[in-house]
Chain A
Amino acid sequence: MDNNTPDTGPSLEESWGYDRKTLDYIQRASATGLYEIRGLGAKRRVPHFDDLLFLGASLSRYPLEGYREKCSSKVVLGTRFAKKPVELEMPITIAGMSFGALSANVKEALGRAASEVGTSTTTGDGGMTQEERNSSKTLVYQCLPSRYGFNPDDVRRADAIEVVIGQGAKPGGGGMLLGQKINPRVAKMRVLPEGVDQRSAARHPDWTGPDDLAIKIIELREITDWRIPIYVKVGATRTFNDVKLAVHSGADVVVVDGMQGGTAATQTTFIENVGIPTLAALRQAVEALEDLNMKGKVQLIISGGIRSGADVAKALAMGADAVSVGQGILMALGCNSGSYMQGGKHISAIADYTKLGTAPGFCHHCHTGQCPVGVTTQDAVLEQRLEPAVGAKRVRNYLKTVNMELTTIARACGKQNVHHLEREDLVALTVEAAAMAGVPLAGTSWIPGRQ
């Protein structure tokens, strides 16, 4: 051996531009001629709530006594026009997820958990199931472009209506529920043949543009005798303008879903490349409301990658009235866990992840309908893996924990009400997050792009 050759084996240098992920993508595309469709949300790193920190109380602010002094987390949504606004015990709601994407058991579990902790849950594309109506004290009914299962009886028995314009994972895109998830019940609710790949339209069938939306909202109010709030949900893109238009259209509540928001099945390229981060969208949404002098009159719900009480606290401090959680709820139910509970025992699901070509911690295979833990499936055997009572308890525990973390942080900042958290309680760890969130870089008074 030449004395100059180091004894470290062959030198392997991975390309940055053509790394293993990119190679996989190109090779997969060339083998199949199809783009990848998958579930959950964006996996890329974007500036997020992790990049913000709270300035707790000290000499210049009094903290609250953590275990004795009350800190309220109640929220009222839909105070603008509705006779009966939605009143919740915590500002953490369960996001719209369709029956079809989720099993009836899961829908029931979500309703039970939400009712127990005093929050709302939301239907999804595919209509309202009896199970979720029965189990949910407060149920938000989505009006989507597909109008699958949408009907006036359910409109009247909803506690709020959410007109869905878009979703953070795919703003501007319609939906796709692959045939393997269309079992007889799902097919019947959607008036579709069993087993077809079901497409959902990107645009509503009976209105186009904000002027029409204003008239559509009035129609929904007339049908419900102006009783319940009307939410408008947008995927985060041109959020400043979209929120203004939603307000002009007469929304009681605007829901903004950032790009980290989840989906049951969308093209990967769409999930990763369309939309803006939740952090950036939230700041724009709040500015739109402030610009219109509608802050507090029209409530703002933010979603897309909200996982913890800290995330909620930061969202509220930035100006949201409430948050909506989707993927976190799935994970509370057992998504990406190595096992599922059956009769009080943990049973390994690893082999089923392997069959899907994945592993716990990496799964995004909701679109296949073969969820190893029985969450996003319509398969009669697999859906039994999620027992509604177990699911409800886990979701309840998760929501309670998140809310306790929220009040812990609020108290530390000296607030008797979580809605008293404010922008000036926050600083950013990175220049990007400081610019997007409009808060100073920690230890400075510098807000990039603003001062």
Chain B
Amino acid sequence: MNAVAEAIAFDLASQKLRELNQFLHGDLGMVKQVRVLNPDGAHSIAVGVNAPVTINIAGHAGYYAAGMNQLADVDIAGNAGPGVAENMMSGRVHVHGFASVSAGASAQGGLLIVDGDAGLRCGISLKGGDIVVGGDVGAFSAFMAQAGNLVVCGDAAENLGDSLYEAVIYVRGKVKSLGADAQFEPMTDADHVTVAGLLKQAGLTHDPKEFKRIASARSLYHWNADANQEY
């Protein structure tokens, strides 16, 4: 097997982002690993990838890194800008630093791991993906989240889980406030198993028993006069 063909590097200091993404959208042949050097906060790195390839971004990424990812395993050595792994369908995206706003927005599948903190609206409109945040999450995280899990190992800011549908949130630290229709619920054995599994995949060793469960009270599911402008 040709070792050169299995790994390839793109240096964004000298090569265009377009070349990288076009390459990732083509027939990757034997290529199993793509390294992205000098990303320097570029936007839309490795978006729309639909192949089981490992992509190592050697630095900070701008907006929408690994957006709409399918199958790929994307590793971001630095921080990620807004909308990292937005609308991910499958695969895995691992941010070793911090993630900005809207991390994992509307992700339908796959796993997003953020080692540091995530900004506002982490997991907004989540549709089945899983997100594990090693640090804290900002306000309005999991806003209108429909399915999937958001695991927060640190604290959560204001209005967590506002207008939540069927996604479930687990928080280890403090929750500043819950949003409309979100409520604390007792952790079940199934919750412990879910949290343990996601922590394991994220390489974290917290005790699942330290987490609280937040889910929808489902009082906004039907439009009625008594909702009093809650939505």
Q: How far is the CA of A215 from the CA of B41 in the complex (A)?
A: 13
Residue of B64, B223, B225 near A197 (CB, 8 A) is B223
- List chain B residues, Cβ under 8 A from A212: 63, 82
Q: How far is the CA of A197 from the CA of B166 in the complex (A)?
A: 13
Query: Using a CB-CB cutoff of 8 Å, which residues 261-294 of chain A contact chain B?
Result: none
- List chain A residues, Cβ under 8 A from B25: 225
Whether B94 sits at the interface, judged by CB under 8 Å, is no
Query: Which residue, A33, A191, A193, has most C-beta atoms of chain B within 10 A?
Result: A191
B26 to chain A, nearest CB (A): 9
Query: Using a CB-CB cutoff of 8 Å, which residues 297-347 of chain A contact chain B?
Result: none
- List chain A residues, Cβ under 8 A from B62: 215
Q: Is the CB of B17 within 8 A of A222?
A: yes
- List chain B residues, Cβ under 8 A from A2: none
- List chain B residues, Cβ under 8 A from A206: 64, 82-83, 86, 102, 105-106, 124
Whether A240 sits at the interface, judged by CB under 8 Å, is no
Q: Is the CB of B166 within 8 A of A193?
A: yes
Contact size class for B?
35 or more
Whether A178 sits at the interface, judged by CB under 8 Å, is yes
| Interface SS of chain B | loop
Mark interface residues in A215-245 (1 if CB within 8 Å of B CB, else 0): 1101100111110000000000000000000
Q: How far is the CA of A34 from the CA of B17 in the complex (A)?
A: 52
Q: Is the CB of B127 within 8 A of A219?
A: no
Given A32-B225, A201-B125, A205-B121, also A151-B108 (CB < 8 A): yes
Q: How far is the CA of A147 from the CA of B83 in the complex (A)?
A: 14
- List chain B residues, Cβ under 8 A from A62: none
Q: Which of B42-50, B190-198, B205-213 contacts A (4 or more CB under 8 A)?
A: B42-50
Query: Using a CB-CB cutoff of 8 Å, which residues 5-51 of chain B contact chain A?
Result: 17-18, 21-22, 25, 43-44, 47-48, 50
Whether B68 sits at the interface, judged by CB under 8 Å, is yes
Whether B179 sits at the interface, judged by CB under 8 Å, is no
| Chain A residue at minimum C-beta to C-beta distance from B106 | A147
Query: Which residue, B44, B70, B108, B125, has most C-beta atoms of chain A within 10 A?
Result: B125
Q: Is the CB of B163 within 8 A of A199?
A: yes
Q: How far is the CA of A37 from the CA of B224 in the complex (A)?
A: 12
Q: How far is the CA of A219 from the CA of B82 in the complex (A)?
A: 12
Whether B67 sits at the interface, judged by CB under 8 Å, is yes
Whether B149 sits at the interface, judged by CB under 8 Å, is no
Interface size on A, residues (CB 8 A): 36
Q: How far is the CA of A156 from the CA of B64 in the complex (A)?
A: 17
Residue of B18, B22, B64, B124 near A215 (CB, 8 A) is B64
Q: How far is the CA of A174 from the CA of B102 in the complex (A)?
A: 19
Q: How far is the CA of A146 from the CA of B87 in the complex (A)?
A: 11
A173 to chain B, nearest CB (A): 12
Q: Is the CB of A150 within 8 A of B223?
A: no
Whether A176 sits at the interface, judged by CB under 8 Å, is yes
B225 to chain A, nearest CB (A): 3
Whether A152 sits at the interface, judged by CB under 8 Å, is yes
Q: How far is the CA of A190 from the CA of B166 in the complex (A)?
A: 12
Given A205-B124, A207-B83, also A196-B221 (CB < 8 A): yes
Query: Using a CB-CB cutoff of 8 Å, which residues 144-171 of chain A contact chain B?
Result: 146-147, 150-153, 155-156
Mark interface residues in B64-91 (1 if CB within 8 Å of A CB, else 0): 1001101000000000001100110100
Query: Using a CB-CB cutoff of 8 Å, which residues 132-166 of chain B contact chain A?
Result: 143-144, 146-147, 163, 165-166
Whether A351 sits at the interface, judged by CB under 8 Å, is no
Q: How far is the CA of A201 from the CA of B106 in the complex (A)?
A: 12
- List chain B residues, Cβ under 8 A from A201: 125, 144
| Chain B residue at minimum C-beta to C-beta distance from A197 | B223
Given A218-B43, A222-B21, also A179-B125 (CB < 8 A): no
Q: How far is the CA of A311 from the CA of B185 in the complex (A)?
A: 57
| Chain A residue at minimum C-beta to C-beta distance from B21 | A222
Q: Is the CB of A150 within 8 A of B144?
A: no
Q: How far is the CA of A150 from the CA of B89 in the complex (A)?
A: 10
Q: Is the CB of A219 within 8 A of B64?
A: yes
- List chain B residues, Cβ under 8 A from A219: 43-44, 47, 63-64, 67, 83
Q: Is the CB of B102 within 8 A of A199?
A: no
Query: Using a CB-CB cutoff of 8 Å, which residues 16-69 of chain A contact chain B?
Result: 32-34, 37
Residue of A34, A147, A223 near B48 (CB, 8 A) is A223
Q: Is the CB of A150 within 8 A of B48?
A: no
- List chain A residues, Cβ under 8 A from B146: 190-192
Given A147-B106, A150-B87, also A191-B63 (CB < 8 A): no
Q: Is the CB of A147 within 8 A of B89?
A: no
| Chain A residue at minimum C-beta to C-beta distance from B124 | A205
Q: Is the CB of B48 within 8 A of A218?
A: no
Given A146-B125, A225-B25, also A151-B89 (CB < 8 A): yes
- 19 A-B Cβ contacts within 8 A? A147-B127, A150-B87, A151-B68, A152-B48, A176-B223, A191-B108, A191-B128, A192-B146, A196-B221, A197-B223, A205-B124, A205-B143, A206-B106, A212-B82, A215-B44, A216-B63, A216-B64, A219-B63, A226-B18
With A33-B225, A151-B108, A155-B68 already in contact, 11 other A-B pairs whose C-beta atoms are closer than 8 Å? A146-B125, A151-B87, A191-B146, A192-B166, A205-B102, A205-B124, A219-B64, A219-B67, A222-B44, A222-B48, A224-B48
Q: Top 7 A-B pairs ranked by shortest CB distance?
A: A223-B48, A33-B225, A206-B83, A152-B68, A205-B105, A147-B106, A206-B105
